[in-house]
């Protein structure tokens, strides 16, 4: 038996003898090779002599590269030829293994966060500098991983193919596949032993509480079953969306035509207001991770008489208020301003936002906004693709308790770091590290609401 990973090349070899233990002997002509699925009979390679080599007397070879999309399972390679005018055949079995799942190649949890840089900065009111950004990013990364450890699960959605042994061990219920920590949101394809199990032949459970789903059950009213492969290893193949929950909100839209390789994405005002560094966004079927934000000319200029350098000068006159969104941060000269409300063509702003310095601005000054997102394309098991101008941008929303705890953990780390990890309360025997009055409560709440509890069994 020969193994090959789909998408890679395997050398198949047939050798011919006139009788058992005899010498190798050539056939009348080059034999043909056909490859079919043992489970379904489907043809993976139609009969061909093209590409068949003759490396030595009585030996014929063929370099087969199964498609990366070929269903994993057992395949039969059939060699057919003539010897002294009579038909002769030889067979070889080939096990096709799926390529590494997307979850194993491009979805490491590092860099996937449950809060954004902007959310932390709004809590701390820190100045926009590369140094503070780096410290905040490290704190969010650490906090996100700690919360995953506390809750015993990862929350972000991953499109991937994953494999399970069947039977996983003796004594398992024959129609139930327990996923344990590999939790499912939805299934696109389920197969076992190379045979597809259709959606009307299985249930996702628990039906009343999922997603996430922690087990797949074959309907006992059907003829479907797990097993049937040549071995128990990787017998069950599940392609779907893995994770805790896929809760999304419409953020806005693209402001450009996007090809499949660009990593700088222009978006509209509502998207700029809704997303931050660390957000997971989706356009069509492609997910992207927001890694940075850059300023983009909004096409608008400061109208009216301009702005004075006084805090009560909070009205920014523009040609079209509809081009902006509440919650968006705009940049005029070197001063950032938070758009708190919009009335007609007037933006009501909070001056000197994000650590910038209030200043006077003359009419006609260009208005910028962080509407260019620097992203990781084709993230979380999806494929980078082209997208039309105006395509909807959806924002993945992490569970509320998880987001809140990540914020609290990151803030605590940052504040402790600034004090050399010396923030304490009390004195003497009662002295303790200060970590925030409600941090323990937030941890308990996040675990209660979103933590994965142990599955109990009785013997």
- Digit-coded pLDDT (tens) for 149-176: 999 999 999 988 888 888 876 667 888 9
State the pTM of this model.
0.73
34-42 average pLDDT score = 90
Give residue 407's region: left, alpha or beta (phi > 0; psi -120 to 50).
alpha
The tokens describing 56, both together, are 């030595």
Q: Which of 254-258, 362-366, 427-431 has the lowest mean pLDDT?
A: 427-431
Q: Decide if 450 contacts 399 (C-beta within 8 A).
A: yes
CB 344 within 8 A of CB 378: no
CA angle, corner 422, sides to 418 and 427, nearest 5?
145
pLDDT at 105: 47
**Mutual angle of helices 400-418 and 130-151, in 10-degree steps:** 130
φ and ψ at residue 172, rounded to 5 degrees? -75, 150
Q: pLDDT tens digits for 96-155?
A: 876 655 444 455 677 899 999 999 988 876 666 656 888 899 999 999 999 999 999 999
Query: Is 267 a residue whose pLDDT tops 90?
Result: yes
Instruction: Give mean pLDDT, residues 390-418.
Output: 90
Averaged over 354-379, what is the pLDDT? 93
Mean pLDDT of 424-432: 55
pLDDT of residue 457: 43
Residue 2: its pLDDT value, please? 73
- Name the nearest CA neighbour of 382 among 280, 291, 238, 292: 280
How far out from the chain centre does Cα 75 lie? 31
Q: How far apart are CA 350 and CA 64, in angstroms?
A: 65
Distances 25 to 28, 34, 140, 243 between C-alpha atoms, Å = 10, 21, 68, 57
State residue 81's pLDDT score. Answer: 95
Segment among 212-216, 220-224, 417-421 with least mean pLDDT: 417-421
Residue 19 phi, psi dihedral angles, 5° rounding: -165, 165
The answer to whether 339 and 329 are in contact (CB under 8 A) is: yes
* pLDDT over threshold 70, residue 30: yes
45: tokens are 């390679």
Exposed (0-12), middle (13-18) or buried (19+): which is 349, by Cβ within 10 Å?
buried
Per-residue model confidence as pLDDT tens digits over 43-95: 999 999 999 999 999 999 999 999 877 887 889 999 999 999 999 999 988 88
pLDDT value, residue 194? 77
Query: How much of the chain exceeds pLDDT 70, in percent?
Result: 89
Task: Say how far apart CA 225 and CA 324 lie, in whole Å.
Answer: 56
- CA–CA distance from 339 to each of 325, 336, 352 (Å)? 7, 10, 12
pLDDT value for 449: 86
Residue 114 structure tokens: 């449950």
- Distance from C-alpha of 377 to C-alpha of 185, rounded to nearest angstrom: 22
**Residue 458's pLDDT band (cuts 50, 70, 90):** very low
Residue-averaged pLDDT of the chain: 87
Q: Please count the other Cβ atoms lying within 10 Å of the Cβ belonging to residue 130.
A: 7
Residues with Cβ within 8 Å of 231's Cβ and at least 6 positions away in sequence, in order, are none
pLDDT number for residue 307: 95
CA distances, 15 to each of 27, 53, 58 (Å): 10, 12, 5
The tokens for 293 are: 């934000």
Other Cβ atoms within 10 Å of 319 Cβ, number: 12
Q: How confident is the model at residue 456 (pLDDT cuts 50, 70, 90)?
A: very low
* Confidence band, pLDDT 50/70/90 cuts, at residue 414: confident
Backbone torsion region of residue 125, taken as left when φ is above 0, otherwise alpha when ψ lies between -120 and 50, otherwise beta: left
Write out pLDDT tens, residues 294-303: 999 999 999 9
Q: What is the pLDDT of residue 7?
A: 78
């Amino acid at each position: 038996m020969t193994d090959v990973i789909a998408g890679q090349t395997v050398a198949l070899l047939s050798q011919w003898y006139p009788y058992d233990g005899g010498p190798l002997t050539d056939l009348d002509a080059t034999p043909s090779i056909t490859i079919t699925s043992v489970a379904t009979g489907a043809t993976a390679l139609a009969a061909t002599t093209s590409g068949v080599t003759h490396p030595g007397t009585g030996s014929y070879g063929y370099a087969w590269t199964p498609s990366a999309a070929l269903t994993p399972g057992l395949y039969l390679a059939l060699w057919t030829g003539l010897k002294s005018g009579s038909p002769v055949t030889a067979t070889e079995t080939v096990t096709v293994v799926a390529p590494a799942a997307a979850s194993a190649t491009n979805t490491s949890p590092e860099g996937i966060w449950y809060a954004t840089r902007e959310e932390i900065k709004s809590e701390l009111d820190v100045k926009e500098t590369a140094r503070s950004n780096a410290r905040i990013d490290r704190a969010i990364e650490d906090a996100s991983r700690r919360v995953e450890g506390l809750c015993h699960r990862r929350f972000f959605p991953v499109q991937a193919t994953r494999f399970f042994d069947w039977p996983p061990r003796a004594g398992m219920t024959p129609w139930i596949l327990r996923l344990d920590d590999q939790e499912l949101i939805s299934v696109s394809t389920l197969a076992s032993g190379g045979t597809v199990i259709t959606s009307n032949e299985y249930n996702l459970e628990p039906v009343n509480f999922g997603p996430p789903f922690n087990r797949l059950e074959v309907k006992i009213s059907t003829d479907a079953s797990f097993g049937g492969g040549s071995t128990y290893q990787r017998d069950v193949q599940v392609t779907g969306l893995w994770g805790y929950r896929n809760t999304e909100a419409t953020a806005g839209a693209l402001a450009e035509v996007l090809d499949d390789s660009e990593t700088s994405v222009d978006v509209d005002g509502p998207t700029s207001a809704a997303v931050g560094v660390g957000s997971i966004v989706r356009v069509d079927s492609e997910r992207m991770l927001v890694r940075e934000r850059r300023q983009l000319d909004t096409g608008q200029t400061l109208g009216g008489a301009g702005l004075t350098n006084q805090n009560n000068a909070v009205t920014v006159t523009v040609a079209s208020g509809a081009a902006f969104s509440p919650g968006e941060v705009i940049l005029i000269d070197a001063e950032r301003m938070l758009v708190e409300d919009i009335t007609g063509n007037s933006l009501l702003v909070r001056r000197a936002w994000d650590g910038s310095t209030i200043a006077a601005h003359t009419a006609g000054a260009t208005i910028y906004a962080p509407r260019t997102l620097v992203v990781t394309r084709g993230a979380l098991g999806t494929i980078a693709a082209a997208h039309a101008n105006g395509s909807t941008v959806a924002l993945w929303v992490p569970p509320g308790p998880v987001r809140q705890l990540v914020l609290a953990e990151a803030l605590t780390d940052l504040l402790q770091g600034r004090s050399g990890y010396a923030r304490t309360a009390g004195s003497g025997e009662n002295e303790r590290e200060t970590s925030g009055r409600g941090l323990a409560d937030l941890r308990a709440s996040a675990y209660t609401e979103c933590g994965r509890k142990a599955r109990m069994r009785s013997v």
